Structure 1
Amino acid sequence: MARRELEEGERVGRFVVLRDVEGRMHAVSATSIGAICEDDGGALLLLPGGRMIRVERSFEVVLGWLELGGR
């Protein structure tokens, strides 16, 4: 059985798939994101423990991924 490729912004259960600016994939619980900040055409996401992920998607796009019933 072929493994399908996950897409950025896709929801898998309670997780949202994100790709950071270094190309690493993250599956982050949508409810664990403490804040989203606009950052030079991208967005910064604040995670538990003070960890931050920078993505090359706009603030509005990331916010849309995280809303209930989002993409």
Structure 2
Amino acid sequence: MYRTEEEAELLQSQIDDASSTSERVKLSKQLKKINEQLLELNKYEEVVHHWADKMEPMDLDDGVKANYAKFQELLAKIK
């Protein structure tokens, strides 16, 4: 379980217990952001798990460009 999942559960209970509408709205926005992060984490975890299962060899002597091309799905875009 990710820490963000625990945080989402805590926020949901705070929303349920919130006394004012403004507080509920504020907490709901935070919960929405956390849920979006969790979705992104789960998608990335699937990709990483797939690559880990493939056990793709990496030769550091090939250089950054060759290895980046091989693993670009896992890495951030080069700017």
Instruction: Please give the TM-score of this superposition, normalised by the length of structure 2.
Output: 0.23
Structure in which a larger fraction of residues adopt strand? 1
CA radius of gyration, larger in? 2
Structure in which a larger fraction of residues adopt helix? 2
